[in-house]
Amino acid sequence: MRLKDKVALITGGGQGIGRATALAFAREGAVVAVADINMTAATAVADEITRADGRAKAIFLDVARAESVEAAVRTVQESFGRIDVLVNNAGIVRDARMQKMTEEQFDAVIAVNLKGVWLCAKAVAPLMIAQGSGSIINAASVVGLYGNFGQTNYVAAKSGVIGMTKTWARELGPSGVRVNAIAPGFVATEMIASVPEKVIDSVEARTPLRRLGRPEDIANAYLFLASDESSFITGHVLSVDGGLIL
């Protein structure tokens, strides 16, 4: 029960890594706000937690829209009185080679994966500062550390997330708020379903552990950074990639 009675807001909590994180947090005693633009998916996860005697609430959230973020944070605060953990997990991909990428593709990924992280942290930070405690955990990526073919927009966003993480750790640390990031490698979720099999095989061959990550692998890293076990860790980017970038 490492998160007993802590209130956690998880963006993109309706599927993939977000769903695994919501379930893991609930098992460890957290009250979970499952926030997603897909309310059907968010409700299914919240119901699954409730059936297992946990506490959860599904909340609509479009992270790219400030008014939606503010409404979601207000709902969590009114429902549970506080927010102890923010997991900025929501993300999208719109891949294309740089010279073929459209402005719409670029803007969509930046809006969700970079601006959305900023909007959510900005809305939650005042509550955590007032409490004198909190943990903000951002989803970066190993491609934000070394780049990736066909992902100019995604890499730009994830590199930006890493920079924001380090900046916020400096700004919020004196108020007792920790800010860290996870840099997953390739994880078997819906997001990579369109990746050609030969590319997946190549990634597995280059990964020392010889497999893709599982959503639970990332959820467990989120769990550690959300818990008091990491109380002296801030401004850190934790790679969870099977050794891919060695």
The residues that are catalytic are: 154
Virtual torsion, Cα 161, 167, 171, 172, nearest 10 deg: 40
Alpha helices in 9-115, H assignment, sequence order? 16-27, 39-51, 66-80, 103-110
Rounded to the nearest 5°, which phi and psi values hold at 101? -70, 135
Find where tokens 């409404």 sit: 71
Rounded to the nearest 5°, which phi and psi values hold at 194? -90, 0
- Written as six digits, the tokens of 75 are 């709902």
Q: How many CA atoms lie within 13 A of 237 on its CB side?
A: 22
Question: Does residue 12 contact residue 34 with C-beta atoms inside 8 Å?
Answer: no
C-alpha distances in angstroms, 140 versus 82, 103, 114, 160, 168? 25, 22, 10, 9, 14
d(CA 76, CA 166): 26
Query: Which amino acid would we find at residue 103?
Result: E
d(CA 166, CA 112): 19
d(CA 16, CA 50): 19
